[in-house]
Amino acid sequence: MRPSRPRPWRARSARAALALALSACSSPGGGGAWGDPDTGAAVLFPDVVGDGAGGTDSAASSSCDEDQGCNDLDPCTVDDRCVAGVCQGVAVACDDGVSCTTDYCAQGLCRHEVAAGSCLIGGVCWSDGQPHPTNPCRRCDAAASPDAWTDADGLKCSDGAPCTDGETCAAGACTGGVAVGGDGCEATDPPTTCETHYDCYPERVCLRWRADDVKRCSEPCGGPGDCADGEVCSLLPGAAQVAACEAVPPDTLGDGEACGGDDACASGLCVDGVCRAGCVSQSRCSADGLVCRALDTVGAADAGSACVPAASGTLGMGQVCSADGGASWASALCASNHCDLMPWPATTALPCAPLCRAEGDCGLGQECGVVLYAPAADPATVAFHPQLQAATHAAVTACFSTPGTGTKAPGAPCVEPGECRSGKCLHLLPGESQRYCSALCGSDADCPSGMRCKLDTLTLASAWLQAPSLDTQPPLTSAWTLVRVCKFE
C-alpha cells in the first residue's frame, strides 16, 4: 500500500530561509480608513493626514515629553512615543501573507498590489503564462487581467482523445479536432503484441497488460477518461509521467474503493487504503477536490503520482510552501507534494508547484523535469530498444524554476541545456553527434511544427537533481527513465 508521507529531503532550514522584506500593513489598530487612533500612555492622539503624503510636520512633532505619548502626524504609524525628544511611531502591519503582492501603507490605508508578471486568482498566486490547473486553454495573463483567468485562444491543445488531431483553444476550450486514422484508431483492430517500445514506435508504447501478462502496443493516455470502456489508464513502469491504456484486470476494484494493496485496484494504485487513479499532470485530475500528488518512494522501485483528495491543511498551487513564515520550506506542505525550491538559496517566496508531463504545464521561467525517482530500477520495465535492454527507473516530473536563461525553442541546435528555454539539450537524430533543444510533452500538440511527441530515455540528472545546495536525491548520469519528448518527424 502506498502511504503519502512527507519527503524528508524536501525540508529547508532557517539557515538559508528567505528573508521577506515587504513592509507590513493593516489599517491602524485593525480599523477603517485611519480613524483608529494612535495611543500613548493614557492619552489618545489620532494622526492627521497633514500634507496628504503621509509625511511628518516637523514643527508639530519636534518637541515632546520623553517617554510620553505623542503624535508624529504620520497616519501609517501607531503607538507614537517620545524618544530622545523626537516623536516616533511604529509602522502599521500590512503584510497579507500573499507571496505575489507588494504590501504597503499609504495615508493610513493598507495597499496590496499584485506584483508585475503575476496573477492573484482566488487567493492563489500564478506566474505570467502559467496554465489553469485543469484547463490548458486558460492562462494567467498579467497584462490582460491580473485577477482572473484569460482565454489562451489560438494555442494548440489536445482534447485527450487518441484519434483526433488539430485541436486549438477557442473561448477557453479545446475544440476543432478532426478524426484521424492509423494504428490504434480503428475499434476493430486489436492491439498488436510487442517485445520493446521500439516495436510500437512512435505513436504508442509497449505495456504488459496485467489482465493476461501479454505485452501489447498501447495508446498513451493522460488520466481518467482517456481510455475506451473496459480499459484503464495505467502508469508505465520505469517511466516519468507516462501512462497508457490497458484492459481492466479482472476482479479488481474501482477508484474510491477500499483496498489492501496495489494489486487489488484496477489502477494498480492503492493510496492510504483507497484505490486511486494514476495521473501525469494536475489537469488530468478533473474531479472536485482531487490533486495530482507525487507518491513517495516507499519501495525500492516505487515512484509515481495519483489523483487524491487534497489533504486537510495542504497548500494549493502558487501558495507559499512554508508553515513558519519562511524559517523552513517543505514540499510535503503542498497538495502536490512538490515545492519549487529553485533557485536555491531563495531570493523570493517559494511556491507550491504542480506535477507535469509537458513544459506547457508549467509557468514562464519554469521547466518540467525530474524531481523524484525510485532508488532502484523497475523490474517491470519493458526495454526501450533491442539494443537498449537496461531497466529504467520510475520517476516523477514537476515544475521548477529553471536555473538558466536560455531562449532557444525545441528543434534548435544546442551544445548544453542552458541554451534551451526547456533546459533540455538532447540527441534527437540517431547516429548524429549534434544535439537539439527539446521539451517534455504529452501529445503532438505540445510540440512545434516539424516535431512529434515520442517516447525516449532521459538520464536522472535534471537541473533540479544537480543543484548542489538542494538537499535532495543525487543525480544519476548513468541511470535512465522513460519520458515523452519532442523529436523530429
| Pair 353, 475 in one domain | yes
Going by the DSSP 8-state scheme, the letter that residue 277 receives in this structure is: -
For the chain, the C-alpha Rg in angstroms (whole number) is: 27
Cell, residue 169: 483553444
Are 55 and 74 in contact by the 8 Å Cβ rule? The answer is yes
450 belongs to a structural domain: yes
Average pLDDT over residues 427-436: 86
pLDDT for position 313: 85
Q: Which candidate, 120, 132, 101, 118, places its Cα nearest to that of 22?
A: 101
164 belongs to a structural domain: no
- 319-335 b/e (C-beta count within 10 Å ≥ 16 → b): bbbbeeebebbbbbbbb
Average pLDDT over residues 12-37: 33
Domain boundary among the residues 67, 92, 117 is at 92
Higher-pLDDT residue of 348, 238: 238
The whole domain housing 50 covers 28-92
111 belongs to a structural domain: no
Domain boundary among the residues 74, 92, 110 is at 92
156-180 tens-digit pLDDT: 777 766 667 777 888 888 887 777 6
Q: Three-class SS of residue 108? A: coil
pTM as predicted: 0.68
53-98 tens-digit pLDDT: 333 333 334 468 888 888 888 889 988 899 888 998 899 888 887 8
CA distances (Å), 38 to each of 53, 73, 220, 399, 464, in order? 18, 10, 65, 47, 50
DSSP string, 240-267: BS-EEEEEPPTT-BPTTSB-SSGGGBTT
260-284 tens-digit pLDDT: 999 999 999 999 999 999 998 888 8
pLDDT for position 18: 32
| Pair 251, 368 in one domain | yes
48 belongs to a structural domain: yes
* Structural domains counted in the chain: 2
| Pair 192, 83 in one domain | no
350-383 tens-digit pLDDT: 889 999 999 988 888 889 999 999 989 998 999 9
302 belongs to a structural domain: yes
135 belongs to a structural domain: no
Are 259 and 275 in contact by the 8 Å Cβ rule? The answer is yes
Burial class (CB in 10 A: 0-12, 13-18, 19+), 313: exposed
| Pair 88, 190 in one domain | no
pLDDT over threshold 90, residue 183: no
Label each residue of 9-62 as H, E or C. HHCECHHHCCCCCCCCCCCHHHCCCCCCCEEECCEEECCCCCCCCCCCCHHHHC
Q: In the chain, what percentage of residues exceed pLDDT 70?
A: 80
137 belongs to a structural domain: no
Are 462 and 393 in contact by the 8 Å Cβ rule? The answer is no
Average pLDDT over residues 234-245: 94
Domain boundary among the residues 38, 59, 92 is at 92
190 belongs to a structural domain: yes
| Pair 317, 424 in one domain | yes
| Pair 347, 204 in one domain | yes
| Pair 88, 218 in one domain | no
282-335 tens-digit pLDDT: 888 867 789 999 986 545 557 889 999 988 889 988 888 888 877 788 888 999
